């Protein structure tokens, strides 16, 4: 199909993040214009269910007037002041108070950022800084996991355990190590129980720490449920076992809750849903339901004390962004948290999860689906060439991208993580809309199956 004028102008001017730059020149982009509730509309007025809540973030959906009003009111009152060098403002103070109240573990302070990548970058810097202040400058290595996703800045992309984020970017940087991915379907051994697999993952972590030297390993970072790596729910008992290893070697635990916090797994924090007690936490995305770019790290007392110790020695704590705690972002985040509380969004998400998961699991019977997995209001359908042997499609067959294109024709926006189709709708989705979403996904799978047969891919 010929590209529209807008699509041509787009391709001539915008370098699209996370995009196959070669194929997009033929397909063009989907240009969206407006949105309401769980639907986004393209420039021709066609509606789509936003099956991915944007990028796992628009939990309250679109067109929320209260959030828009909160931003407008704050812009008129005090559009900007920063938090550097002794300045502060009411929305940042109040937001930090709310986050401390909500946090699942004892938190001393909140450090504001604008994105998930900045949050995790700040985590690494804070760990290094803390261990310097504590007189153990050799304890600096950070362990993340294969297929973990933590962002794309130089340090965060190093934590990320996906080849596309490393290849050609000269990453990871030194001192960042990757341990095994807790995906039983792909990495469990023949006949290995989930429990035994979890034990083996913890043993892998322990072996890595011992190989490197426990006095050189500072922290372990993990998403409660891996998002961009394929919506991977760890096996039962996994975090308990990983925590025991970390505690044994005095390794700090960081929960990357950029996707999971604020109800995605049916609780305020995903780590609570999975029995994981981190020392510090990264948040972003649903903190403002993506109405403003705001993130934060929630840090414990010992990390805060380090900033006092070092400030006495060297003066200023030299970290912070111009927009750390931006007042408009903070006002919108506060209103978002108020709505989560008042409308019982998290409790309602927990109540809708069984319906969502039942639909997902039912699609596990589809001939194309090797594994249907998920937790709470997120999930993935991993498409395979052979259900029995779990054989994957050849990457060049582009099955994942094809499925996303067909889903778009069916009026639903999904995202492919390799050949896994991810689902993560706004939490405000109604039960009827959940049924509608899965009808469309089922039709999509049928059409992808026809395509795979026609192309001789099965």
- Where along the sequence are the contacts to ligand PMP (CB under 6 A)? 55-56, 115-117, 120, 149-151, 223, 227-228, 256, 258-259, 284
Distances from the Cα of 382 to the Cα of 69, 391, 411, angstroms: 40, 11, 20
Shortest spacing between CB 452 and ligand PMP, in angstroms = 28
Residue that the structure tokens 């043993």 belong to? 203
Give residues with Cβ within 8 angstroms of 365, minimum separation 6. Answer: none
First to last CA, the chain: 28
Shortest spacing between CB 422 and ligand PMP, in angstroms = 11
Rounded to 5°, angle at Cα 252 from 249 and 253: 115
Shortest spacing between CB 160 and ligand PMP, in angstroms = 8
Shortest spacing between CB 114 and ligand PMP, in angstroms = 8
By three-state DSSP, how is residue 19 classified?
coil
Q: Give the closest residue to 35 by CA, choosing from 55, 5, 58, 10.
A: 58
With CB atoms as reference, the residue minimizing the distance to ligand PMP is: 116
Contact call for residues 345 and 289 (beta carbons, < 8 A): no
Taking the least distance from each CB to ligand PMP, the nearer of 284 and 404 is: 284
Two tokens at 388? 């029995």
Taking the least distance from each CB to ligand PMP, the nearer of 164 and 362 is: 164
Cβ neighbours around 345 below 10 Å, total: 22
Taking the least distance from each CB to ligand PMP, the nearer of 99 and 162 is: 162
- What is the C-alpha radius of gyration for the chain, rounded to an integer number of angstroms? 22
Taking the least distance from each CB to ligand PMP, the nearer of 115 and 307 is: 115
Question: Pairing relation of β-strands 412-413 and 47-50?
Answer: parallel
Two tokens at 41? 């509309």
Taking the least distance from each CB to ligand PMP, the nearer of 243 and 258 is: 258
Residue that the structure tokens 């290995």 belong to? 192
Shortest spacing between CB 232 and ligand PMP, in angstroms = 12
Shortest spacing between CB 411 and ligand PMP, in angstroms = 24
Shortest spacing between CB 239 and ligand PMP, in angstroms = 15
Sheet bearing 420-423, strands edge to edge: 369-375, 378-383, 420-423, 415-417
Shortest spacing between CB 119 and ligand PMP, in angstroms = 7
Cβ neighbours around 193 below 10 Å, total: 13
Question: Pairing relation of β-strands 420-423 and 217-222?
Answer: unpaired
Taking the least distance from each CB to ligand PMP, the nearer of 279 and 307 is: 279
Taking the least distance from each CB to ligand PMP, the nearer of 7 and 160 is: 160
Taking the least distance from each CB to ligand PMP, the nearer of 370 and 376 is: 376
Taking the least distance from each CB to ligand PMP, the nearer of 256 and 419 is: 256
Taking the least distance from each CB to ligand PMP, the nearer of 74 and 282 is: 282
**Is the omega angle on the peptide bond into residue 168 within 30 degrees of 0, that is, cis?**
no
Shortest spacing between CB 258 and ligand PMP, in angstroms = 4
* Alpha helices (H) along 231-381: 238-248, 270-273, 301-314, 327-342, 345-363
Shortest spacing between CB 172 and ligand PMP, in angstroms = 15
Spatial distance between the Cα atoms of 24 and 295, rounded to a whole number of angstroms: 30
Contact call for residues 321 and 113 (beta carbons, < 8 A): yes
Spatial distance between the Cα atoms of 58 and 37, rounded to a whole number of angstroms: 10
Taking the least distance from each CB to ligand PMP, the nearer of 120 and 353 is: 120
Shortest spacing between CB 76 and ligand PMP, in angstroms = 27
Taking the least distance from each CB to ligand PMP, the nearer of 116 and 235 is: 116
Question: Pairing relation of β-strands 378-383 and 420-423?
Answer: antiparallel
Long-range CB pairs of 78-81 (<8 Å, 24+ gap) are: 78/327, 79/327, 79/328, 80/326, 80/327, 80/328, 81/327
Shortest spacing between CB 56 and ligand PMP, in angstroms = 6
Q: Give the closest residue to 265 by CA, choosing from 239, 238, 286.
A: 286
């Amino acid at each position: 199909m010929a590209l529209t004028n807008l699509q041509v102008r787009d391709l001539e001017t915008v370098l699209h993040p996370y995009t196959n730059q070669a194929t997009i020149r033929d397909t063009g982009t989907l240009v969206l214009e407006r949105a309401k509730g769980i639907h986004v509309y393209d420039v021709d007025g066609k509606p789509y269910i936003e099956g991915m809540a944007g990028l796992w973030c628009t939990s309250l959906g679109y067109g929320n007037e209260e959030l828009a009003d909160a931003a407008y009111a704050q812009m008129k009152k005090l559009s900007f002041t920063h938090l550097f060098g002794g300045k502060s403002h009411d929305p940042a103070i109040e937001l930090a108070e709310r986050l401390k109240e909500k946090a699942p573990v004892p938190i001393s302070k909140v450090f504001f950022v604008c994105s998930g990548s900045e949050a995790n970058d700040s985590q690494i810097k804070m760990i290094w800084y803390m261990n310097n202040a504590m007189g153990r400058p050799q304890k600096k290595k950070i362990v993340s996991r294969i297929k973990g996703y933590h962002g794309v800045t130089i340090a965060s992309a190093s934590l990320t355990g996906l080849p596309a984020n490393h290849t050609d970017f000269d990453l990871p940087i030194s001192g960042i190590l990757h341990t095994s991915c807790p995906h039983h379907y792909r990495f469990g051994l023949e006949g290995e129980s989930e429990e035994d697999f979890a034990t083996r993952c913890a043993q892998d972590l322990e072996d890595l720490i011992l190989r490197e030297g426990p006095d050189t390993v500072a922290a372990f970072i993990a998403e409660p449920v891996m998002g961009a790596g394929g919506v991977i729910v760890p096996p039962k008992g996994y975090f308990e076992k990983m925590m025991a290893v970390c505690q044994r070697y005095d390794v700090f635990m960081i929960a990357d809750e950029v996707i999971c916090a604020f109800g995605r797994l049916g609780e305020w924090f995903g780590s609570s849903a999975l029995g994981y007690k981190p020392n510090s936490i990264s948040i972003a995305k649903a903190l403002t339901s993506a109405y403003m770019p705001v993130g934060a790290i929630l840090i414990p007392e010992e990390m805060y004390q380090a900033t006092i110790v070092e400030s006495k020695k060297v003066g200023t704590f030299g970290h912070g962004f111009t927009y750390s705690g931006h007042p408009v972002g903070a006002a919108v985040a506060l209103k978002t948290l108020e709505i989560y509380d008042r409308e019982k969004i998290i409790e309602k998400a927990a109540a809708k999860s069984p319906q969502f998961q039942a639909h997902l699991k039912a699609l596990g019977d589809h001939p194309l689906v090797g594994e249907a997995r998920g937790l709470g209001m997120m999930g993935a359908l991993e498409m395979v060439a052979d259900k029995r042997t779990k054989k994957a499609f050849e990457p060049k067959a582009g099955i994942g991208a094809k499925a996303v294109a067909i889903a778009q024709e069916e009026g639903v926006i999904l995202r492919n993580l390799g050949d896994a189709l991810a689902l993560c709708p706004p939490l405000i989705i109604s039960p009827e809309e959940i049924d509608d979403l899965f009808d469309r996904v089922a039709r999509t799978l049928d059409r992808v199956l026809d395509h795979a047969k026609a192309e001789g891919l099965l």
